[in-house]
Amino acid sequence: MSMATNSKSSPGNRAEGRDAMLLSDLDVTVEPMADLGQRTWFKTGGRADLLVTPQSVEALATLTRRAWHDDVPVRLLGGGANLLVLDEGVDGLVVSLDAPAFRLLQVERGGASASIRAGAGHDLFALMHELNRAGLGGLEHLAGIPGTIGGAVVMNAGGTYGDTAQALTTVEVMDARGDLAIHERASLECSYRHGGIPSGIVTRATFRVEPTDPATLRKKFQELFSWKKSRQPFAASSAGCMFKNPIDPLSGARVSAGLLIDRAGLKGLRSGGAYVSPVHANFMALDAGGTATDIAALANVVVARVLDHSGVRLEREVVFWGRHPA
């Protein structure tokens, strides 16, 4: 890949020249001014100066090493399910692990036990269906959770029935110098919405699964998915739960963020084209024509109103990206 630039004419062109050096001779696909907003579940938001999709682990390693050396911010784009891209857009490099090299799935069977190795870019919805067909249980508690394997591992995604870490056995992480290391689950300090992953890029992970009757597994998967659909606004333009469930300062127990928002009387609250879902108060959704600015403004109002009502400060679960170092 080559990019013709004049690196001396302006700050913008200097950045383009820098990016050309980062990406030269690499097996990557590049999309300048990529519409990131449309790649998120909100379906709105700004653009990335540069969206890069490495086609191999080696290309990712070299790109990561060069970006670290030149102090260029790098963000990882997963399935867009837990992300709001602010209307101002995103600087630096946005890296997508959507190439086949990062979406591989391998199954290893050994008598009554089995394991799977999945690339970081593998889609969680697709994985659930593949495990159902293969008759492999152990991850069905993640049914209905959107995103990719990498994102699920990093944030320890989960819900009422369990989280990602409970079936995780190892995770492969690439550090800023492009070096790979495999970390055992026992060495990771996983907790609520925190995978305990060392700084770097998750490239793949392995999980413990077990042979299960496909019909039984399919029925359980459908029950869990139906339960979620009945309690969450699946049809809305939403990114999942906006806030983490906080610790109640009085009881010391974790309390539902949705319950706190509901008790503050905020279901249906609007800001521009954004609104708090009347189905589940921890979901924020958009009308047609709504913007990322609307969502961000609504989230700020909800934080302030819940703090005033209950004394609890909510922390966002949805990640906001803008023009600042990652």
Q: What do you get for the CA distance between the two ends of the chain, in Å? A: 26
Let me know if 193 is a catalytic residue: yes
Let me know if 190 is a catalytic residue: no
Q: Which of 163, 146, 175, 240 is nearest to 207 (CA)?
A: 163
Give me the half-sphere count of Cα atoms (radius 13 Å) on the Cβ side of residue 191. Answer: 5
Give me the half-sphere count of Cα atoms (radius 13 Å) on the Cβ side of residue 294. Answer: 22
Are β-strands 158-159 and 237-241 bridged in parallel, bridged antiparallel, or unpaired?
unpaired
Are 86 and 47 a contacting pair, CB within 8 Å?
no
Q: Which of 308, 288, 286, 313 is nearest to 297 (CA)?
A: 286
Beta bridge partners of 123: 148
> What residue spans of 93-208 are helical by DSSP H?
124-134, 149-155
Q: Which of 197, 191, 120, 205 is nearest to 158 (CA)?
A: 191
Exactly one of 18, 65, 193, 218 is catalytic; name it: 193
Tokens representing 278 are: 């009347």
d(CA 52, CA 75): 10
User: Which residue reads 């279901």 in tokens?
Assistant: 267
Q: Which residues are catalytic?
A: 193, 241, 317
